[in-house]
Amino acid sequence: MMKQDLKISLPVYKIGYSLAFIVILSCVHSVVYVNEIGPAIDGKMAVLTLVFCADTYLIERQSRRREVFRLYLIKNQYYAVLRRITVQIGYLTVISILAYGMFYWQKPAVLDEKRSGIFLFLLYCGVVFITIFFWSVLSVTVCNLLQSVWGGMGMLFPVWLFLVSKAGEKLLGVWNPFSYEFCEFSELTEWKWAAGKIITAVCAILLLLLQKKILEKRG
């Protein structure tokens, strides 16, 4: 079962475009200091996740397996979706860490010795995991509710665009899901920006728990 979910969740074309995405990102987005690497990646990983996970459930329809899949108990369908989301989150987290390392070809400098490169990297790992977790579950949820991959992505892309914009920063402040991206380096260890990530993580957990109900309604 897990082998099948791996095959469905990580087809070759998804691996190809996701790797191309991080390579291009590390080439076109310049950084001067190490502390700029995390914020340079976080928001972009959200939009990659949005696209990557959009068909996590609806792939059944596209591959004509839907009628067979619907014969499974709702509980089994739910666990299958959870396994696929878990696989995708794991993969995207790994390539986001790879993306972080790729920025070092630009030879960024350490701005403050008190905040070591290891601290900044570990902080980034936690932040980007929450970002991927939230946007993967949100993408699956919206696409399944609309019963459309393109409809779901079309609805979520403007939301993402607003959240990463200056308007989103001003309106939501520390409650913005991308508050880490907007945080000044000097305020990083004040942790006010973490409010946005905490809310994001809580919302992701709630959406994950709702998947079973959505499957019952939409199937």
Question: pLDDT tens for residues 30-61?
Answer: 888 888 899 999 999 999 999 999 888 766 65
Q: Which domain holds residue 213?
A: 2-218
For the chain, the DSSP string reads -HHHHHHHHS-HHHHHHHHHHHHHHHHHS--SBGGGHHHHHHHHHHHHHHHHTTTTTTHHHHTT-HHHHHTS-HHHHHHHHHHHHHHHHHHHHHHHHHHHHHGGGG-PBPS-TTS-HHHHHHHHHHHHHHHHHHHHHHHHHHHHHHT-HHHHHHHHHHHHHHHTSHHHHHHHGGGSTTHHHH--GGGGGG-TTHHHHHHHHHHHHHHHHHHHHHHHHH-
Question: What's the pLDDT band for 70 if we cut at 50, 70, 90?
Answer: low
Q: Each residue of 172-196: pLDDT tens digit?
A: 888 999 988 887 766 677 788 889 8
Task: Please count the structural domains in the chain.
Answer: 1
- State residue 185's pLDDT score: 67
